[in-house]
Amino acid sequence: MRGSGLSTSLVLAFFVSTTVKAREVSGSPPRHHELRTEHGLHLPIYRQEVPSIRRRGLTGSIGLGDYLDVTYNVLVTVGGVSTPVVLDTGSSDLWVISDACAACPRSVQLYPQATFQSVGLEARLLYGDSQTGTHAFGLIGKDTVNLAGLTLQDQFFAAINDTNTSVEDTGNAGIFGLGFPVNSVIWTALFIDQRNPGVSKRSANDMALNRPVFPDVSKLIGHERTNFKRLPFPNITALRGGLMTNHDSRQASSSFVDAIFQSYARTGPLLSRLVATSDLTSPQFTVTLQRNTVDVGGNVGVLSIGELPRGIKNESITWVPIRRYDSSQGGLPPPPDSPSEEYPITWEIFIDDVYLDGERLPRSTLSPPATTLSALVDTGNSLIRGPADVVQTIRSTLGTRFPCSEPHTLAFQIGGKLFPIDPRDFANQEFSNTVASCSPNLVPTDPPAKGGYLYSWSLGDPFLKSVLSTFHYGNLTYPSHDPPRMGFLSTVPADADDQLKAAVEDAAKNGGNFPATSEAAPTGVPTGVVQTNSDGVPTVEPTNTPKSNAAFRPVIKGRTVWSSFVSAALLVYVSS
């Protein structure tokens, strides 16, 4: 049950502002920097106006908001109104609550539906399972959308006019998915309707598009996490408007495949449209997430679009391929002129092994032996999720609870290099008013299944707070020409263990609770630079623990130069 204190805190989080100290930078504009791409735009140095989306070589950057390290968000302007939405690499759709929702709170700016151009399709987004009954209903349509100075006309999204979800409780008015087009519910509905009018107007059982449960914020405040459902595997057969034979799936007609790829530039998700039209300097985006709990500080929260952030060298990043699915595995069919093409579905990377405190963990027996170990990288997941048997091994090793002052490291070997989770992000305070006992930010998830996703781990925000992660779409039509991939750069300091111990000691002296702060998504970009680590990643000095933490409650920090989100996937279907 939500308390009134939470609502008050959210309002304060959205309107109260503070600033982060920054040192001024002198020198040439970014476009003249030896490590910069011409026309680059990056936080936190300079802001460059983008006169037209038709211009080539576009880039953009924007700070992130953070709600208690549970959700990370970004300001998106839809129909002339800027509103915060959850940043979600685990889904592909944009939706916002509209002012047509009479029962919705007005704690955040809602989308003015007067400028909305409906296409006559209704999006029905259902959260949870059949027992919860939470939902978000609205219309599919288009309007002008701006993100980080990048503007797109006629961008399709869902304008929600009826919802009982808790998305607004985290200071957000919707969700912004950054996944691939094939995973987009809105793109799928539009594609089917354009090729077979009326087919998209079907029941939930026909579409069968399940999405994860949005977090129960009232439980999250008490350090209790809800379990997300696995995202649904795309139904490629539905794109053809009927059954597809094995021969059809291997060798689709040229017109059908061409129609798929040509539609990305018109009806695809926002970033996919920019990639499909080659408008970005590079078909990629980069994310760093800040830490607003336990030991406030860490990375500066930033979304950079179109090139690497300033000062980050490509050779310092560990690059790994994205898993691609062939047609026999349920992926998109290859075009006749390139029959060996395989396509990505989500941001799923291969991992070599998983280690706990330096010891390699056994492989799960729940996954088929022939399936290569992989993980979904998901900003919309507030936890680390893994195979049930491996999670049980970890919990048996650590015990049900462990002393918060006892650092533990869960590390993932990716591309031959270990990427540890900062121990400050792995530990979760178990009880209010005492930091004696912690538990791991780790829960089990479903194993891979034939005909579905093949990943067995989901690397959520605890992992993403410990790295700079860059997402490269590559060539959406011919992935073999420019393969989709992800890059990682660890940002965990060498003295992270000592910093956790110091944070526990401070908390014990000041009421027995770790600090937990929230920041609203910024409206603009800062003009200065914060400090950077040895790899050039912007970081924030940890703040002092509040003098008194006698009762666990969010310590609202207000608007800073950056802010953060968490995302959730949805149980969604489309009908009229």
User: Given a cut of 80, is residue 121 above it in pLDDT?
Assistant: yes
Q: In terms of pLDDT, which residue wins out, 3 or 252?
A: 252
End-to-end CA distance of the chain: 33
Task: Please choose, from the candidates 554, 541, 564, 556, the residue with its C-alpha nearest in 3D space to the C-alpha of residue 20.
Answer: 541
Task: Please choose, from the candidates 303, 317, 316, 305, the residue with its C-alpha nearest in 3D space to the C-alpha of residue 53.
Answer: 305
Residues 6+ apart with CB under 8 A from 339: 250, 251
The full set of domain ranges for the chain reads 4-575
Q: In terms of pLDDT, which residue wins out, 135 or 456?
A: 456
User: Given a cut of 80, is residue 568 above it in pLDDT?
Assistant: no
Encode pLDDT of 48-71 as tens digits.
344 444 445 899 999 999 999 999
Name the strands in the sheet holding 402-403, side by side, starting at the edge strand that comes first in the sequence. Answer: 402-403, 434-440, 427-431
Q: What is the mean pLDDT of residues 106-117?
A: 87
C-alpha span between 127 and 131 (Å, rounded)? 10
**How many CB atoms lie under 10 A from the CB of residue 52?**
8
C-alpha span between 274 and 56 (Å, rounded)? 10
C-alpha span between 45 and 24 (Å, rounded)? 9
| Residue 93 three-state SS | coil
Q: Where are the alpha helices (DSSP H) in 372-495?
A: 388-398, 423-426, 461-464
Q: At what angle do helices 185-195 and 254-267 cross, to 10 degrees?
A: 130
User: Given a cut of 60, is residue 120 above it in pLDDT?
Assistant: yes
pLDDT given for residue 408 in this prediction: 98
pLDDT given for residue 103 in this prediction: 78
Task: Please choose, from the candidates 111, 82, 106, the residue with its C-alpha nearest in 3D space to the C-alpha of residue 11.
Answer: 106
User: Given a cut of 90, is residue 548 above it in pLDDT?
Assistant: no
Q: In terms of pLDDT, which residue wins out, 473 or 565?
A: 473
Q: Is 285 left (phi over 0), alpha (psi -120 to 50) or beta?
A: beta
User: Given a cut of 60, is residue 115 above it in pLDDT?
Assistant: yes
**Amino acid present at 376:** L
4-575 domain in CATH 2.40.70.10? yes
Do the beta carbons of residue 322 and residue 486 sit within 8 Å?
yes
Phi, psi of 333 (to 5 degrees): -70, 150
Residues 6+ apart with CB under 8 A from 389: 364, 365, 366
User: Given a cut of 50, is residue 562 above it in pLDDT?
Assistant: no
Task: Please choose, from the candidates 369, 347, 480, the residue with its C-alpha nearest in 3D space to the C-alpha of residue 414.
Answer: 347
C-alpha span between 257 and 333 (Å, rounded)? 7
C-alpha span between 357 and 474 (Å, rounded)? 35
C-alpha span between 66 and 477 (Å, rounded)? 35
Encode pLDDT of 206-255 as tens digits.
333 333 333 333 333 333 333 334 456 777 777 765 434 444 444 557 88
Task: Please choose, from the candidates 536, 497, 499, 516, the residue with its C-alpha nearest in 3D space to the C-alpha of residue 407.
Answer: 497
User: Given a cut of 60, is residue 575 above it in pLDDT?
Assistant: no
**What pTM value is reported for the model?**
0.81
Q: What is the mean pLDDT of residues 381-400?
A: 95
